[in-house]
């Protein structure tokens, strides 16, 4: 050991700096764990899991592609960008309240149920004096995106404050730290936002609930289902599910939720199953202004997820937020993916450890020949 220490000058400052840089470079960064960032040429990053080809360059400001079965995040663009979610926030509403309200519970609508619905909201047509089951109201939420049905369910749950608190607690429990809840229906409200990453968390958790899965995939229904003079037919507004308005229905589509507001633009969370594999796509605010852009871009990403990305890819697990648990403030509404890690703190630490170990090993490989050379020189040096 003493003899080796005598040759420590071979580890020069330049060598240390080089290997420190190498160690840092080995640690995976970005919104997708172990993903390789690829620039799409407009200043945003598209990230894909190892072993996958380039993902489509769609116009949405933010999107994710997830393998539902494994939880692997296959590809993403700005997954933690905090944006207005529009009615896709109803996935969180359903996730929080479905276990609280039995579907068979009956309720006769009163004026107070819908008195605080914001003007211009999408409505299913809840009418005072009409008898509904909770199941009817959930179909109104998922098929017609009815804010009147949302507010009626919120009152049945104990009121708006309790509902919002339950929604936020549900988001926090899932690690959805990009989400701040101000309304139960997703209507544009100051301080309310979510992200493509968080919406994928809500949808993936929701699909494990048979009621959520059934409601989000229902194409048409009577409202209320029992019929009567106030009953009428409703159809799901998710064009990729039903095939309408020039959009061809996607094979194997399960459904989930679409949305639109003036602030959010178009948003869509959608999932499909093919050969016992389910792919989930979340898209927020396409910049393509054509009417069906959100559906066609989702189609492209679904196709990519099924056909291009290998099933066994080892990407980051969606079992917690890859962004830090920062306080939710409106001024943080544009928190992007670059500040986030897709691994947990423990995984990040172990990754850094492995990287440093690799750097030390490489450093040893360089230094050992220098040490041996110095030893030979000392042995061959003439004695005095």
SS3 per-residue string spanning 27-62: CCCECCCCCEEEECCCCCEEEECCCCCCCCCCCEEE
Residue in 82, 72, 298 with CA at minimum distance from that of residue 199? 82
pLDDT at 19 over 90: no
Residues noted as catalytic: 87, 90, 145
Q: Are 112 and 129 in contact (CB under 8 A)?
A: no
- Please report the pLDDT score of residue 358 as a whole number: 47
Distance CA 294, CA 343 (A): 29
pLDDT at 105 over 90: yes
Q: What is the mean pLDDT of residues 207-235?
A: 97
Residues 6+ apart with CB under 8 A from 8: none
- Answer with the residue of higher pLDDT: 350 or 232: 232
pLDDT at 357 over 80: no
- Please report the pLDDT score of residue 378 as a whole number: 52
Q: How many CB atoms lie within 10 A of CB 108?
A: 10
- Whether residue 224 is preceded by a cis peptide bond, meaning omega within 30 degrees of 0, is yes
Q: Please, what is the average pLDDT of the chain?
A: 79
Q: Are 268 and 259 in contact (CB under 8 A)?
A: yes
Q: What are the distances in angstroms from CA 137 to CA 118, 143, 338? A: 18, 10, 40
Distance CA 347, CA 259 (A): 35
- Please report the pLDDT score of residue 17 as a whole number: 34
pLDDT tens for each residue of 296-337: 999 999 999 998 776 545 444 333 334 434 444 433 333 333
- In angstroms, how far is CA 115 from the centroid of its own chain? 33
Q: What is the mean pLDDT of residues 185-207?
A: 98
pLDDT at 283 over 70: yes
- Please report the pLDDT score of residue 311 as a whole number: 59
End-to-end CA distance of the chain: 26
- Please report the pLDDT score of residue 310 as a whole number: 66
Q: What are the distances in angstroms from CA 188 to CA 36, 196, 265, 350? A: 34, 17, 11, 41
pLDDT at 260 over 70: yes
- Please report the pLDDT score of residue 141 as a whole number: 98
Q: What percent of the chain has pLDDT over 90?
A: 65
- Please report the pLDDT score of residue 52 as a whole number: 85
Q: What is the mean pLDDT of residues 34-45?
A: 40
Q: Are 292 and 247 in contact (CB under 8 A)?
A: yes
- Alpha-carbon torsion (97, 184, 145, 331), positive or negative: negative
Q: How does 309-338 read in b/e, with b if 16+ C-beta sit within 10 Å?
A: beeebebbbbebbbbeeeebeeeebebbbe
Which burial class, exposed, middle or buried, applies to 382 when counting CB atoms under 10 A from its CB (0-12, 13-18, 19+)? exposed
- Alpha-carbon torsion (215, 219, 223, 228), positive or negative: negative
pLDDT tens for each residue of 122-146: 999 999 999 999 999 999 999 999 9
Q: Which of 38-47, 88-97, 309-318, 340-349 has the highest mean pLDDT?
A: 88-97
Q: What is the mean pLDDT of residues 155-178?
A: 98
Q: Are 199 and 85 in contact (CB under 8 A)?
A: yes
């Amino acid at each position: 050991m003493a003899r080796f220490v005598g040759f420590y000058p071979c580890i020069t400052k330049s060598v240390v700096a080089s290997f420190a840089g190498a160690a840092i470079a080995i640690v995976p960064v970005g919104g997708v764990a172990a993903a390789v960032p690829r620039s799409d040429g407009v200043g945003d990053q598209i990230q894909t899991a190892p072993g996958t080809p380039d993902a489509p360059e769609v116009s949405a400001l933010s999107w994710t592609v997830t393998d539902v079965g494994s939880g692997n995040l296959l590809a993403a663009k700005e997954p933690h960008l905090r944006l207005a979610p529009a009615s896709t926030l109803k996935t969180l509403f359903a996730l929080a309240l479905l276990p609280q309200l039995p579907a068979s519970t009956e309720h006769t609508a009163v004026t107070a149920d819908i008195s605080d619905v914001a003007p211009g909201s999408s409505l299913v047509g809840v009418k005072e004096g009409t008898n509904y089951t909770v199941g009817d109201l959930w179909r109104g939420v998922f098929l017609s995106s009815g804010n009147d049905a949302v507010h009626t369910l919120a009152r049945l749950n104990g009121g708006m404050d309790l509902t919002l608190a339950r929604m936020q607690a549900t988001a926090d429990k899932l690690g959805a730290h990009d989400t701040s809840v101000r309304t139960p229906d997703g209507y544009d409200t100051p301080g309310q936002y979510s992200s493509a990453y968080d919406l994928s968390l809500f949808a993936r958790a929701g699909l494990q609930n048979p009621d959520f899965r059934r409601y989000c995939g229902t194409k048409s229904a009577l409202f209320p289902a029992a019929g009567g003079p106030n009953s009428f037919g409703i159809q799901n507004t998710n064009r990729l599910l039903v095939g309408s308005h020039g959009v061809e229905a996607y094979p194997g589509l399960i459904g989930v939720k679409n949305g639109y507001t003036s602030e959010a633009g178009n948003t869509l969370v959608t999932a499909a199953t093919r050969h016992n594999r389910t792919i989930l796509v979340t898209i927020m605010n396409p910049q393509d202004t054509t009417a069906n852009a959100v559906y066609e871009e989702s189609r492209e990403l679904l196709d990519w997820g099924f056909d291009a990305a290998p099933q066994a890819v080892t990407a980051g697990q969606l079992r917690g937020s890859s962004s830090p648990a920062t306080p939710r403030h409106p001024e943080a509404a544009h928190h992007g993916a670059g500040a986030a890690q897709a691994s947990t703190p423990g995984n990040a630490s172990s990754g850094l450890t492995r990287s440093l170990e690799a750097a030390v090993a490489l450093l040893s490989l360089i230094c050992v020949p220098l040490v041996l050379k110095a030893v030979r020189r000392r042995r061959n040096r003439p004695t005095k």
